[in-house]
Amino acid sequence: MRVIQFLFICCLVACAPTESEPMSREPYTTQETERFVREQLMNDQGELRTNRTDRKDEYLSESLGLWMMYLVRIGDKTSFERLHETVHRWMTKEGAVYWQRDGQVWKQATASIDDLRIAYAYLCAFEKWEKDEYYTFGEKIVHHFSKYQVKNGKFSDFYDLTMNKEGNTQTTSYYNEYALRTFAQHGWLESTVVERWVEGRKEEPTDGTMYPPTRFLIEEEQYEFDEEINGIDIAYTLLYRADWTSRERQLYDAWREQFMTESRLPGRISRSNHPLVTFESPAQYALLGLVALRQEDQRFAEQLYAKLRSMQSTMPGYEGQFVDEKTGDLHVFDHVLFLIFEQEVAYDNVE
């Protein structure tokens, strides 16, 4: 199995293809999983609903950005263009992206982790298909972020469009260092802003555990450490940080050893590393698998991929889904992150 470093791994470093990894190759995907997403979670505008039950009328900018990244990864220009037309409705003239639509009600706030992901997807789409409008849209989103959500070297997690005020928190797991540096290379963000943020990240305090602080309170200039750790947040933190300290290495090694020993990781843990729940998170496994590939840890990545395949339902009507077969409960991002990870780990070696 050959590691293909493209959109979700090395789009974190660069969007353009390399000579050894051309963009024109046909990718593989699990047909049942993608068919489920397209046929049962997608509406006519290409938006993805959060689930099919209690949140079936909810659409998130998170899902929008992840699906845009996946479409670039598989080279689906037609679907990307259709989604691009949909983004017009999600975005203000100044470049703010609403973080949620519930029915026809738009939440009047942004979410920086999702905004920057959408902007990065646009940059990668521009590199692939050379459509100037993609570049313009990505640039506009980042400029809005830079204008309203950068404060004293910190990045605000959201902007309240009703109050015209940025949020007071910078969440540790939200910011993709590779993407930020790429934005700076294109002049979308000032390089001094990015470097100041990176230096601040490197100076994060410790509470004596291997886990980083949860967030930084901008006005108070202090860090907070939540007792409950979300596995997805930690996986994002490992994926988004370019230069690992001993803490990131310790975290990765500990999770790797635990998974290799127990064949599972809990979705939430305490700071003292005790499981708080029994459920497992497909999204956490997919993100950690992408981290493993960035670390050139092929064996671990393959183990995580096998775990994910074992978690997919085989029941009639649920084939390929990550779903509670008794309740029908599921979440769209489990499926999209799996599809992105699968493109990297199973590209040339599909059973």
User: 196-246, pLDDT tens digit by residue?
Assistant: 999 999 999 999 999 999 999 999 999 999 999 999 999 999 999 998 999
Q: Which two tokens stand for residue 205?
A: 């305090």
Contact residues for 157 (Cβ-Cβ < 8 A; gap 6+):
111, 112, 113, 149, 167, 169, 170, 171, 174, 215
pTM score: 0.92
Query: Tens of pLDDT along 249-298?
Result: 999 999 999 999 999 999 999 999 999 999 999 999 999 999 999 999 99
Write down the pLDDT at residue 7: 41
Structure tokens at 219: 């006005």
- Distance from C-alpha of 349 to C-alpha of 351, rounded to nearest angstrom: 7
What's the confidence (pLDDT) of residue 325? 86
Please tell me the predicted confidence (pLDDT) of residue 15. 54
Q: Topology of domain 7-345, per CATH?
A: Glycosyltransferase (1.50.10)
Residue 182, CB half-sphere, CA atoms under 13 Å: how many? 26
Q: Where are the domains of the chain?
A: 7-345
Write out residues in the chain with pLDDT < 70, as ranges.
Answer: 1-30, 347-351
In this prediction, residue 347 carries a pLDDT of: 65
Residue 31 is predicted with a pLDDT of 83
Residue 104 Cα distances to 84, 131, 237, angstroms: 19, 30, 33
Q: Please, is 91 exposed, middle or buried when counting C-beta atoms within 10 Å of its C-beta (0-12, 13-18, 19+)?
A: buried
